[in-house]
Amino acid sequence: MARIRVLFETGEPERVIEFDPRKAPFQHDGRPGSILDVLLAHGVPLEHACGGNCACTTCHVVVKQGFQQLPPSEEEEDDLLDKAPGLTPTSRLGCQAVIEDPEAEIVIVIPRYTINQISAHGGS
């Protein structure tokens, strides 16, 4: 079973998700088997203002462990990540970072500044 350990900069308790990547898609947001897809299907919220279509940076995550277990990012993702606040060398968009290895062990941090400002303020 693949495993994602999710840490939150907002102080929420960490979550550990075990799943079989071969059963993707799980939630149908982002690429099948992406960090976004897996998190949403397991009740872990991750903003995705564009619906997981690689058109914004609200699903930005920092991969603390297992970065090399993810396929390389594509140019479209890299271009968007350049606009993400708090960009690090191991930043990825959750909607694009697909976990394919059934034995993968990934640790991610969900930064506090990825919160969609519209939903954070109650809409409009």
pLDDT tens track, the chain, 124 positions: 999 999 999 889 999 999 999 999 999 899 999 999 999 999 999 999 999 999 999 999 999 999 999 999 999 999 999 999 999 999 999 999 999 999 999 999 999 876 554 444 344 3
User: Which residue type occupies 105?
Assistant: E
What per-residue confidence (pLDDT) applies to 104? 97
What per-residue confidence (pLDDT) applies to 113? 76
The residues, ordered by sequence, that sit 6+ positions from 3 with a Cβ below 8 Å of its Cβ are 16, 17, 18, 19, 104, 105, 106
Q: Which domains does the chain have, with CATH numbers?
A: 2-118 (3.10.20.30)
- Please tell me the pTM assigned to this model: 0.90
Is residue 53 within 8 A of residue 24, CB to CB? The reply is: no
